[in-house]
Chain A
Amino acid sequence: MPPTDTAPEAPTPEEESPGVSKEKKGGREEDGDGAAAALPHGDAPGIRFEKVVKRFGSNVVLRELDFAVEPGERVTLIGPSGSGKTTILRLLMTLEKLDDGLIWIGDDTLWHMDKGGRRVPANQRHLHEMRKQVGMVFQQFNLFPNMNVLRNLTEGPVRVLRASKDEAVERARGLLDMVGLSDKENAHPSQLSGGQQQRVAIARALAMQPKVLLLDEVTSALDPELVVGVQDLLRDIARESDLTMLCVTHEMNFAKDISNRVLMFDQGQIVEEGPPDRIFGEPAEQRTRDFLQAVLAS
Chain B
Amino acid sequence: MSVVFDSREQWLHGAWLTVQLTLYGCALALVLALVFGLVGTSRHMWLRALNRVYVEFFRGTATLVLLYWFFYALPLVGVQINSKLVCAVLALGLNVGAYGAEVVRGSVNSLPKAQVEAVIALNFTPYQRMRRVLLPQAFALMLPPFGNLVIELMKGSAIVYTIGLVDLTKVSKNVQGFSGETVAPFLAVLVFYFVIAQILQLLVRYAERRVDRMLGRRPSREPSLSAVAAGAPGVKAAS
The minimal Cβ–Cβ distance linking A184 to chain B, given in whole angstroms, is 12
* Known pairs A140-B114, A144-B133, A146-B133; A188 contacts B123 (CB<8 A): no
Asked if residues B117 and A208 are in contact (CB atoms below 8 Å), the reply is: no
Asked whether B77 is an interface residue with its Cβ less than 8 Å from the other chain, the reply is no
Chain B 212-234 interface 0/1 with A at a Cβ cutoff of 8 Å (1 = within): 00111100000000000000000
CB distance from A156 to the nearest CB of B (A): 4
B122 CB-CB contact with A under 8 Å? yes
Q: Is A24 an interface residue (CB 8 A)?
A: no
Number of A positions contacting B (CB below 8 A) = 30
The yes or no answer to B144 lying at the interface (CB within 8 A) is: no
A145 touches B216 (CB 8 A): yes
What chain A residues lie within 8 Å of B216 (beta carbons)? 145, 148, 187-191
The answer to whether the Cβ of A41 comes within 8 Å of any Cβ in the partner chain is no
In the complex, A159→B216 CA distance in Å?
A: 22
Task: Write out, one digit per residue, whether chain B residues 86-128 have a CB within 8 A of any chain A CB (1) or not (0).
Answer: 0000000000000000000000000000110110111111101
> What is the 8 Å Cβ interface bit string for chain A, positions 188-226, against chain B (1 contact, 0 not)?
111100000000000011001000000000000000000
Of chain B, the residue at the smallest CB distance from A137 is B121
Given contacts A144-B115, A145-B215, A189-B216, is CB(A136)–CB(B121) below 8 Å?
A: yes
Q: Which of A124, A143, A159, A189 contacts B128 (CB 8 A)?
A: A159
Asked if B132 is at the interface of the complex by the 8 Å CB criterion, the answer is yes
Complex Cα distance A159/B124, Å?
8
Q: Which of B124, B133, B216 has its CB near the most chain A CB atoms (within 10 A)?
A: B216
Contact A204 B122 (CB under 8 A): yes
Hey, which chain A residues are within 8 Å of B214, CB to CB? 146
**Contact size class for B?**
20 to 34
How far, in Å, is B88 (CB) from chain A's closest CB? Answer: 36
With both chains docked as a complex, state the minimum distance between the C-beta of B219 and any C-beta of chain A, in angstroms: 13
Question: B137 contacts A145, CB within 8 Å?
Answer: yes
Q: A145-B216, A189-B216 are in contact. Are A128 and B117 (CB under 8 A)?
A: no
| Binary CB contact string for chain A from 92 to 115 against chain B (1 if under 8 A, 0 otherwise) | 011100000000000000000000
CB distance from A80 to the nearest CB of B (A): 23
B136 touches A128 (CB 8 A): no
Rounded to whole Å, the gap between the CB of B120 and the closest CB of chain A is 6
Cβ of B215 to closest chain A Cβ, rounded Å: 5
List 22 A-B pairs, Cβ < 8 Å: A93-B121, A95-B117, A95-B121, A131-B120, A131-B121, A132-B123, A135-B121, A136-B121, A142-B114, A142-B117, A142-B118, A144-B133, A144-B137, A145-B137, A146-B136, A146-B137, A156-B122, A156-B123, A160-B122, A160-B124, A187-B216, A205-B121
Where the two chains meet, the residues of A that have a C-beta atom closer than 8 Å to any C-beta of B are 93-95, 124, 128, 131-132, 134-136, 138, 140, 142-146, 148, 155-156, 159-160, 187-191, 204-205, 208
Q: Which residues of B are interface residues toward A (Cβ below 8 A)?
A: 114-115, 117-118, 120-126, 128, 132-133, 136-137, 140, 214-217
13 A-B pairs besides A95-B117, A142-B118 with CB distance below 8 A are A124-B126, A131-B121, A136-B121, A140-B114, A142-B117, A144-B115, A144-B133, A145-B137, A146-B215, A155-B122, A190-B216, A190-B217, A208-B123
What are the 3 A-B residue pairs with the smallest beta carbon separation, nearest first?
Answer: A188-B216, A142-B118, A156-B122
